[in-house]
Structure 1
Amino acid sequence: MTVYDPEALARQTAQQIALLNEHLTVAPSEQAARILGQVLDPHEGVLGSLTALVATGSRFAQDRASAGLLPPEVWLALGRAANELNDIALDLDDHAEDIHRLTQQQQTTTVPPAPSALVARRHR
């Protein structure tokens, strides 16, 4: 049985995410799309795992707030964060196929795709 130091694990996880970010900034388009697809995967990706971690932290804070050991605002803030992350994951899941399609494109495309207007529309 392997014993982990959870604080060291949290530091290592943050370091790994920073390293992944560095790779993403220089990755070719297809590889960047594959990285994003894995990060955004709602079941096994980083975003889903982070959402679950924040939700667990919210339950921890709720227990401590109920015992008077933490201000209730801490619990509420963590709960809001978990809900927002979940909403963001749902919004991004709507676009998973678009990201996946980038992993399938050939780099030798003769006609560049037409740029689209960058207009943000939120729908939930």
Structure 2
Amino acid sequence: MTLYDPAALIRQITQEIGRLTAHVGTAPPAQAAQVLVEVMAPEGILDQVTSLIAAGARFAQDRAAAGALPAEVWLALGRASNELGAVNGDLAEHTEDLHRLAQAPPATTVAVAASALVARRHR
């Protein structure tokens, strides 16, 4: 049996995600898009975080049923898992666009009409 320190693993993962965040902010568009494609991929970071929160919700449900945690903890984690799942679905609609940008030659620029930059939210 291999023992590890979960807190150290969390710190390491957090640091690595911070490095990725900094990279996306400064990388050429194709590289930044490739990172986002990988993050949003099935079994990517976002999907794995969603699974982790869902596992936390199941854990909290068991602990709430035993009286060790308030039911609100279970409900909040369940709601967070559902919301992250919805976000995953919303982002999946745009994966192909990001993939296309990731494959674009570096000199390619795309002119975007200002009206296309208006945020649209649908649920």
The answer to whether TM tops 0.5 is yes
Supply the AA of the counterpart residue of 1:75. W
Unaligned runs of 5+ in 1: none
Supply the AA of the counterpart residue of 2:12. Q
CA deviations 1:87-116 (Å, max 9, x no partner) are 00000001100000001211223xx42223
Q: In structure 2, what is the Cα distance between the partners aligned to 1:3 and 1:70?
A: 27
Compute the RMSD of aligned alpha carbons. Answer: 1.4
TM-score of the superposition, structure 1-length normalised?
Answer: 0.90
Structure 2 equivalent of residue 114 of structure 1: 111
Q: In structure 1, what is the Cα distance between the partners aligned to 2:2 and 2:37?
A: 30
Shift of 1:69: 0.7
1:83 paired with 2:82, answer: yes
Shift of 1:2: 4.1
Describe the SS at the equivalent of 1:30: helix
Describe the SS at the equivalent of 1:123: coil
Supply the AA of the counterpart residue of 1:103. A
1:67 paired with 2:52, answer: no
Unaligned runs of 5+ in 2: none
Supply the AA of the counterpart residue of 1:69. A
TM-score of the superposition, structure 2-length normalised?
Answer: 0.91
Supply the AA of the counterpart residue of 1:14. T
